[in-house]
């Protein structure tokens, strides 16, 4: 049986083959997370719960409760395996940044019922070939059906740096999700939306059928390359600081990776 791929798995391979081997071939699990990822997860949990309450339980969320919920998740899930890479910032700084982002989001989007919610943290399969021999998996933050019947695939971003339109138009993850969403909603206008929560700005892009077909072909080729790779070189970069294997004890007197070529 062929292995299951996701956008993040392919992204890992493209970033560093050594990291890919440790994570996906050797399946080495390391209890380490960065505060940026943790912050993102806590904001995601807060917004998922808020949309669920508003749309499925029909309870209008209150701003104080939503911001408080973020703080509750933060305290409840914080653990000692979370590292702060940028040492000039404190844990409190990140918590406060997240809290402000959630408060801003509330002001911008309450009561959260403007669209029909088709999915929250929605798992989906992405068929890359007509026979479904190669299927990728993905999880979409939110799928909205707008009053005009069109569909938005929404991804929350907690990174600080805004993307260019070119980056947005070439981004692979949401375009792959569009392939899976098309199977669910049929032929409708679909928009890809990246919601940058730290600035409150939405970036959007659309993909044609021809672009999606080209993406399927390119992704199949990349998966073939990944599966046939036997050399897994290190690729040191600024991202090493966020890699869970950097200088992590391998239990054999060494480390999984020293971040040097
Ligand atoms: S520390 Fe850097 S070089 Fe080493 S596995 Fe991680 S990303 Fe690759």
According to the model, what pLDDT value does residue 2 have?
Answer: 72
What average pLDDT does range 131-159 have in this prediction?
96
**Cα–Cα distance for residue pair 229/68, rounded to 1 Å:** 47
Q: Is 236 in the pocket of ligand 1 (CB under 6 A)?
A: yes
What HEC string does the chain produce?
CCCCEEHHHHHHHHHCHHHHHHHHHCCCCCCCEEHHHHHHHHHHHHHHHHHHHHHCCCCCCCHHHHHHHHHHHHHHHCCCCEECCCCCCCHHHHHHHHHHHHHHHHHHHCCCCCCEEEEEEEEEEEECCCCCCCEEEEEEEEEEECCCCCEEEEEEECCCCCCCHHHHHHCCHHHHHHHHHHHHHCCCCEEEEEEECCCCEEEEECCCHHHHHHHHHHHHHHHHHHHHCCCCCCCCCHHHHHCCCECCECCCCCECECCCC
According to the model, what pLDDT value does residue 173 have?
Answer: 97
Q: Does residue 190 surpass a pLDDT of 90?
A: yes
Q: Which atom of ligand 1 is nearest to the CA of 236?
A: 3
- pLDDT: is 227 or 261 the higher one? 227
Cβ-contact 188, 152 below 8 angstroms: no
According to the model, what pLDDT value does residue 160 have?
Answer: 86
Q: Chain-wide mean pLDDT for the chain?
A: 96
- Kindly report, residue by residue over 86-115, the tens digit of the pLDDT: 999 999 999 999 999 999 999 999 999 999
**Cα–Cα distance for residue pair 97/211, rounded to 1 Å:** 37
What average pLDDT does range 35-46 have in this prediction?
97
Q: Is 240 in the pocket of ligand 1 (CB under 6 A)?
A: yes
- Kindly report, residue by residue over 78-92, the tens digit of the pLDDT: 999 999 999 999 999
User: What domains sit in the chain, N to C, each tagged with a CATH number?
Assistant: 33-109 (no CATH), 115-228 (3.90.320.10)
Q: Is 256 in the pocket of ligand 1 (CB under 6 A)?
A: no
Q: Ligand 1 center to residue 20 CA distance, Å?
A: 9
Instruction: Quote the percentage of the chain above a pLDDT of 70.
Output: 100
Q: Is 245 in the pocket of ligand 1 (CB under 6 A)?
A: yes
Q: Is 239 in the pocket of ligand 1 (CB under 6 A)?
A: yes
Q: Which atom of ligand 1 is nearest to the CA of 261?
A: 3
Q: How many CB atoms lie within 10 A of CB 10?
A: 20
According to the model, what pLDDT value does residue 1 have?
Answer: 56
**Cα–Cα distance for residue pair 53/47, rounded to 1 Å:** 10
- Best residue for ligand 1 mutational test, from 22, 232, 240, 242 (most atoms within 8 Å of Cβ): 240
- Kindly report, residue by residue over 213-230, the tens digit of the pLDDT: 999 999 999 999 999 999
Q: Is 13 in the pocket of ligand 1 (CB under 6 A)?
A: no
**Cα–Cα distance for residue pair 97/92, rounded to 1 Å:** 9
What average pLDDT does range 20-24 have in this prediction?
97
């Amino acid at each position: 049986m062929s292995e299951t791929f996701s956008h993040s798995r392919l992204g890992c391979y493209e970033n560093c083959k050594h990291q890919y081997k440790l994570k996906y071939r050797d399946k080495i699990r390391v209890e380490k997370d960065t505060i940026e990822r943790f912050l993102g997860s806590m904001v995601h949990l807060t917004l998922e719960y808020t949309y669920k309450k508003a749309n499925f339980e029909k309870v209008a969320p209150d701003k104080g409760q939503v911001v408080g919920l973020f703080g509750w998740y933060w305290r409840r899930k914080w653990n000692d395996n979370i590292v702060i890479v940028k040492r000039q910032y404190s844990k409190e700084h990140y918590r406060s940044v997240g809290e402000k982002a959630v408060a801003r989001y509330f002001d911008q989007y309450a009561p959260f019922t403007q669209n029909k919610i088709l999915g929250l943290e929605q798992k989906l399969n992405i068929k890359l070939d007509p026979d479904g021999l190669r299927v990728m998996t993905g999880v979409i933050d939110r799928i909205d059906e707008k009053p005009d019947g069109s569909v938005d695939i929404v991804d929350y971003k907690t990174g600080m740096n805004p993307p260019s339109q070119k980056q947005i138009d070439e981004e692979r993850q949401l375009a792959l999700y569009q392939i899976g969403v098309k199977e669910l909603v049929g032929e409708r206008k679909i928009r890809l939306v990246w919601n940058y929560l730290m600035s409150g700005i939405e970036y959007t892009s659309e993909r044609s059928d021809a672009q999606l077909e080209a993406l399927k072909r390119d992704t199949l080729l990349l998966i073939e390359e990944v599966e046939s790779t036997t050399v897994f070189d290190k690729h040191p970069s600024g991202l090493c600081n966020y890699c869970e294997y950097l200088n992590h004890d391998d239990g054999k007197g060494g480390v999984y990776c020293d971040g040097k070529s």
